Amino acid sequence: MKIIYPTLLALVFGVCTNAQDLTSTMHVSAGTSVYVSSATTVSAEQINLKSTSNRFSTLYLNEDLDASLIVNYDRYVSVIGSSGESGGNDLISMPVKVPGTVTLSDFLGYTDGTTVNSDVIPHSPTVATLYAFGPYSNTTQNYINYNTATDASVALNRGAGYRAASYTGQTVRFTGTVSTVTETVAISTNTNRWNLVGNPYPTYINSLQFLSQNSAVLDPEATAIYGYHSGTNVGVGPGTFGNFTVINNLTNSGVNIAPGQGFLVANNPSNATGQISFTMAMRTLTGTDDFILGRTASQNEMLRLQVENTTTRYATEIYFNEHSTVGLDPGYDAALFDGFNNSLVLYSQLVDSNLGQNMSIQSLGFDSQNAVVIPLGLKAVQGEEVTFSIENSSLSDQYDVYLEDNLTNTFTLLNTDDYSITPSANIDGTGRFYLRIGVQSLSMDDLQMASLQIKASEQTVYIHGLLLADSQVSIYDIQGRLISTTFLKEGSRVNTIEADNLSTGIYVVKLKNAAQERTTKVILQ
């Protein structure tokens, strides 16, 4: 990366008011970074910033340039394709913008002097005014393709994200000025919580600073950046799930957001709307590419579990680190991106305080490695064989990883064997599969005992796991007084006990039969 500091700017731009005007247009090649310090005069009429599929020029300003100086950014856009499982397209944003309103018609008319944007962005072969460019709607849960017949006057805004494509992998031009202020964009929850936003600066932005700044308005279960990588990283981990790369404190934390890069975030469900902020302090010259090529790094002990059928595969990740617990850890755990429909999906749910949120990334403390039972969820279609396997693991050899199938009452040691099923009906949910991680040489009795999970949500007690005999479930208050007794049948796997007659508080639930015994504290709310 080439960084041009003020002393070098004299060779390129000319510094101070009496500097020599070398040229009226300055070109900054892809991969080059230009840093302009305060009180520096840039003697040019235009600056053209270039990019390729994996290299982006950057322009870092400490104060506004002369108002008459035009900055153009030629932003690479991936080739057109399907936005579903097969990949294609790109998510982009405006790295520069003219003051006032910029409409769709304005943007389509921008040209680099050779090609106009409307000739780069594909349009429908049957509707010439319908372009492969537009925002994401969390009401319809689909991308919108703008139509100039009805949307020509729609305003494009800094901080907003747009799905776009090009015919062959080309650049589109943005033109205007560089923002030197905080930029904000509204996010919301409608049919779902997902919102498409984008980097408003012609620099990289620090991903973790962005998450820290916006943590209060992001969903605690999805305090992460979800970057669409165009299908080029499908099945590549860690931190990639389907066509998305996840950035949080655990995965891809060194990946910064490229200039003009769009990405998805989840609105905090406690508020109908929120406001994302991009600040000048987030800007950085450090970065190499966007999500289309992606970079991955792992500094934690992790396990990446995958399922695959004949056409596709999907994964979920479990991390162990010193910062996490068995409950929700905002910024470390990451919810499953469910803004689109996939035919094959794998996910986990929280070990503790599980309210049914599906997770792509679950983080646990190192002390959980000795023995932990993790609920898994699977979506798969009838009649198509699905195989579970460990795609990647940095766990020590002393730990065994078992997959429990409650339906078949089997435990498969995934360290040495894969596990395959052919569903007789569509599968979509949790309760059948569990992942069990612990020290080696666990007996079958140990595994069956561990398979019993007792949890509570609001005024209901849930008991998951195969009962090996008729069972008695007793609920005690915190003083040890027996409150209620329930009897459950041998062979049942999912049981619920309604406790709406009990007041809010902490209770002890004890399950006992001829072969199993489990006692757990729960909180009824």
**Helix/strand/coil for 12:** helix
Q: What angle do CA 315, 133, 204 make, to 5 degrees?
A: 65
CA 511 centroid distance within chain? 39
Single-letter code of the amino acid located at 258: A
204-205 and 283-284 strand pairing: antiparallel
Q: How far apart are CA 374 and CA 491, in angstroms?
A: 21
Tell me the pLDDT of the chain (525 aa) as tens digits: 444 443 334 334 433 333 334 458 889 999 999 998 888 878 788 999 999 988 999 999 999 998 889 999 999 999 987 544 455 789 999 999 999 999 999 999 999 999 999 999 999 999 999 999 999 999 999 999 999 999 999 999 999 999 999 999 899 999 999 999 999 999 999 999 999 999 999 999 999 999 999 999 999 999 999 998 765 555 566 788 888 899 999 888 889 999 999 999 999 999 999 999 999 999 998 776 665 544 334 357 899 999 999 989 999 999 998 888 999 999 999 999 988 788 999 999 999 888 889 999 999 988 888 788 999 999 999 999 999 999 999 998 888 999 999 888 888 999 999 999 999 999 999 989 999 998 765 555 555 555 677 888 788 888 877 788 899 999 998 888 899 999 999 878 778 899 888 888 889 999 998 878 888 888 887
Give 3-state DSSP helix, strand, coil % of the chain, rounded to 5.
10, 45, 45
Residues 6+ apart with CB under 8 A from 291: 91, 227, 228, 229, 230, 245, 261, 263
Q: What is the pLDDT of residue 522?
A: 82
- Dihedral angle sign, alpha carbons of residues 270, 276, 279, 283: positive
Q: Are 34 and 270 in contact (CB under 8 A)?
A: no
**Rounded to 10 degrees, what is the CA torsion of 179, 180, 182, 186?**
0
- What are φ and ψ of residue 209, in 5° steps? -65, -40
pTM above 0.95, yes or no: no
Closest to 305 measured CA to CA, from 293, 314, 294, 296:
314
Q: How far apart are CA 363 and CA 355, in angstroms?
A: 16
Q: What is the pLDDT of residue 82?
A: 58
DSSP class per residue in 454-482: EEEETTEEEEES--SS-EEEEEEETTS-E
DSSP 154: P
Within a 10 A sphere around the Cβ of 294, how many other Cβ atoms?
19
Closest to 462 measured CA to CA, from 417, 488, 495:
495
Q: What is the pLDDT of residue 4?
A: 43
**b/e per residue 377-401 (b: at least 16 CB within 10 A):** bbbbeeeeebebbbbebebeeebbb
Residues 6+ apart with CB under 8 A from 395: 301, 302, 303, 320, 369, 401, 437
Write out the two tokens for 18.
């009496």
Closest to 524 measured CA to CA, from 453, 451, 475:
475
Q: Are 202 and 146 in contact (CB under 8 A)?
A: no
Write out the two tokens for 51.
């990019």
70-77 and 46-49 strand pairing: parallel
Q: How far apart are CA 305 and CA 238, in angstroms?
A: 10
Strands lying side by side in the sheet with 517-524 = 482-488, 471-477, 505-512, 517-524
- What are φ and ψ of residue 114, in 5° steps? -120, -45
- Asked, as a colleague might, if the bond just before 6 is cis with ω within 30 of 0, I would say no
Q: Are 376 and 346 in contact (CB under 8 A)?
A: yes
List, in sequence order, every residue forming a beta bridge with 484; answer none if it has no partner: 475
**Helix/strand/coil for 49:** strand
Closest to 48 measured CA to CA, from 37, 39, 35, 57:
57
